[in-house]
Amino acid sequence: MILMSTHSFSAAQNQPRVLIVDGDSETNQQLGTILAGIGEIYYSTGGQELLPLIREKTPDVMLLNAGMLNTGGFDLCASLRKDEACSGIPIILVLDGPDTDSETRSLKAGAVDVITKPLNPLMVQARVKAYLCPKSRNDACEGRMINIYRALSAIHEAIWILIRIIPAGLQDHRRVWRHAACMGRRS
């Protein structure tokens, strides 16, 4: 297995992670070049180390060559879909060329999309970004939900303080009115 990150982004930057699974180093290099700047790029040739790598790196998108020699990409995609650690990761299968049967087989195996060779850089970027977009929206939404929760907690605390203060204030208010009423009768 080959594992290599082409970019040195820190985890604190929360960069998307893309895993390219292909036995062909030329295709790996080509896809890595096309996707440069999108986030962290990892490579694997598949095999037994693939599942531990997925669990360790938790990629946001995976590109998988459908024509892998050792294990067919279609079968590998189907088995990854059954694994709990991989079931939520969008898998895009890379096909050797436009073929309706292969595209259908890819979707039946659990792929969310397909990319065909020869690789069109704009199409590859657009498809990968399309599956990264929901993740970034979810991350942003989670951040907003945390801020809303904090604001509601502060409002809740302020209401409890007011509930404790108001009854004491009403008591003082009643005393003032009684005093004023007494003073009014004396005059």
Is position 180 within any domain?
no
Given a cut of 70, is residue 148 above it in pLDDT? yes
Contact 44, 31 (CB under 8 A): no
Is position 162 within any domain?
no
Identify which of 92, 84, 83, 41 has the alpha carbon closest to the alpha carbon of residue 64: 92
47-62: b (≥16 Cβ within 10 Å) or e: eeebeebbeebebbbb
Per-residue model confidence as pLDDT tens digits over 52-65? 888 888 899 999 98
pLDDT of amino acid 146: 78
With a threshold of 0.75, does the pTM exceed it? Answer: no
Lowest mean pLDDT among 35-44, 69-78, 120-129: 69-78
* 27 membership: H or E segment, kind and range: helix 25-34
Distance CA(118)–CA(95), nearest Å, equals: 9
Is position 161 within any domain?
no
Is position 52 within any domain?
yes
Q: How many domains does the chain have?
A: 1
When the pLDDT of each residue in the chain is averaged and rounded to a whole number, the result is 79
Is position 3 within any domain?
no
Distance CA(117)–CA(57), nearest Å, equals: 27
Contact 49, 1 (CB under 8 A): yes
pLDDT category of residue 27 using cuts at 50, 70 and 90: confident
- Domain extent at residue 64: 11-140
Distance CA(183)–CA(174), nearest Å, equals: 14
Let me know how long the chain is: 187
Average pLDDT over residues 20-25: 85
CATH number at residue 120: 3.40.50.2300
Is position 32 within any domain?
yes
